[in-house]
Every structure is written in C-alpha cells, then in structure tokens.
C-alpha cells in the first residue's frame, strides 16, 4: 500500500511562523516533499503569501492585504508573534516561495484565498511554470470554484484541487473534473476515498496533526496528508 504524501501546512508551522520562508525552508529541511501555502493579491497586484485577508493576526500591523501595496506589506514583521527568535521575518511573495523549488524540487499546493483580477491569475500560472518541480507540478487549490476555473482558463494543464465538505466537493470535482479533493480529516472515511478513487480523483486531508492516526489514513488510502507537524508526521510513516 502506497503511503500518502506528507504536505507541510503553511510550512513547518507547528514550530515556525506560518507562511514564511523560514517555515518553508524548515519543512524542506525535515524532508517534506510538498508544502501548502495561501495567497492574496496586494493593492498593486503582487501575489503575497498569507492565510488571512488581513495582516492583523500574524504581523505587527493592521489592515487588509488588498488595500496595501507590496512595499507596505514588506515593512511588516511576520515572525515575532511566534517568538522573538523569529523577529524580522517578512511576508513572502509567491515568487520568493516558489523559488525554493529550484534547489529542493519541493512541490507547492497554492491555495487561492482572494484574487480581484485576471492579471493576478495569469501571474500565478506563469510563476508555477517558471519554478516547476522536476518531473512533477505544483497544485492550485481553493474553496472558490470560480478561482479554480479562472486558473483553468489560463492553463488547463494546471492540477486543481477543490476544498470543502467531502460529500459536496466530491460531486463538484466530478462535475468540474478537478483531479484533487481536499477536506477536513474528520470528514473523510473509506467511502469518500473509494468514491473519489473510483472517479480517478485523489484525496487530501487537512489539518491532521496526530501521528497516532497516520496509519489509519494510510489504511483508508488517502493520497496526501496536510499537517502543521511535518517532521512528526514524516516520522510516523
């Protein structure tokens, strides 16, 4: 039985500040073959990496990403909230994050949170190609079906992943022909996995931080486990 891919959720975020180059480098260092990150478009159309739509929770600033320029966002500290040893970490651009693939060959799962323009989608797709992993590809995911369809309109070859309730997205994935579904681990059972695999789709679960449960999901046949605890989950394999 094949073991699921371990994907580092926002990098090695259990120990390092989420969605930072530090967290991504540490995920690579412990052997994670895949990293999930979240992206938004700034006021000047740059694609930046952060989970929330505002900078309030994980930086020393306040405000909506969509209303701030890249220069303004780059002034913020996004590490100190996690611990003083991380002070000085800056918000990465998607280009900076994907550039890590060039040396490591790590694959990224790029979750689109909010994009306001077609230009941002075109820029995202161009970056995916510029920094493509050897022998593979990055994945684009979203809760927003329209965002995924925008990506497909630019490049139908980009692997797409729909997030949400397992039963609902299984039907959406079949209707829209998305190759991946991604749901909360507690909502995924053997029937969901079997139905997805019968359609030729792959199943990812979030955010599973319990190494003791890893073998359960191996037996279910899930294809990817997204976790904050990359090193611990890799050890559970």
CB 1 within 8 A of CB 201: no
Cβ atoms within 10 A of the Cβ of 177, count? 12
Task: Please give the C-alpha separations between residue 208 and each of 38, 146, 167, 187, in angstroms, as whole numbers.
Answer: 17, 27, 19, 12
SS3 112: strand
How far apart are alpha carbons 170 and 9 in whole angstroms? 22
Q: Are strands 34-41 and 47-49 parallel, antiparallel or unpaired?
A: antiparallel
Measured CA angle at 160 (ends 159, 164), to 5 deg:
150
CB 228 within 8 A of CB 14: yes
The question of whether 51 is a catalytic residue gets the answer yes
CB 70 within 8 A of CB 113: no
**HSE-up of residue 34 (Cα within 13 Å, Cβ side):** 20
CB 28 within 8 A of CB 98: no
The question of whether 182 is a catalytic residue gets the answer no
Q: Which residues are catalytic?
A: 9, 51
């Amino acid at each position: 039985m094949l073991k699921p891919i371990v994907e580092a959720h926002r990098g090695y975020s259990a120990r390092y500040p989420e969605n930072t180059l530090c967290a991504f480098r540490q995920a690579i260092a412990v052997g994670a073959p895949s990293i999930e990150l979240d992206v938004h478009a700034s006021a000047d159309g740059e694609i930046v990496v952060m989970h929330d739509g505002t900078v309030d929770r994980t930086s020393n600033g306040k405000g909506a990403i969509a209303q701030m320029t890249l220069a303004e966002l780059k002034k913020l500290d996004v590490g100190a909230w996690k611990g003083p040893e991380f002070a000085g970490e800056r918000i990465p651009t998607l280009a900076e994050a994907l550039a890590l693939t060039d040396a490591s060959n790590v694959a990224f799962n790029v979750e689109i949170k909010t994009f306001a323009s077609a230009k941002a989608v075109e820029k995202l797709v161009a970056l995916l190609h510029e920094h493509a992993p050897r022998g593979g590809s990055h994945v684009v995911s979203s809760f927003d079906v329209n965002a995924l369809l925008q990506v497909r309109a630019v490049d139908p070859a980009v692997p797409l992943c729909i997030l949400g309730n397992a039963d609902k997205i299984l039907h959406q994935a079949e209707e829209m022909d998305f190759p991946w579904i991604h749901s909360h681990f507690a909502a995924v059972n053997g029937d969901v996995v079997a139905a997805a695999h019968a359609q030729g789709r792959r199943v990812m679960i979030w955010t599973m931080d319990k190494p003791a449960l890893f073998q359960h999901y191996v037996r279910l046949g899930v294809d990817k486990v997204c976790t904050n605890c990359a090193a611990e989950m890799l050890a559970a394999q």
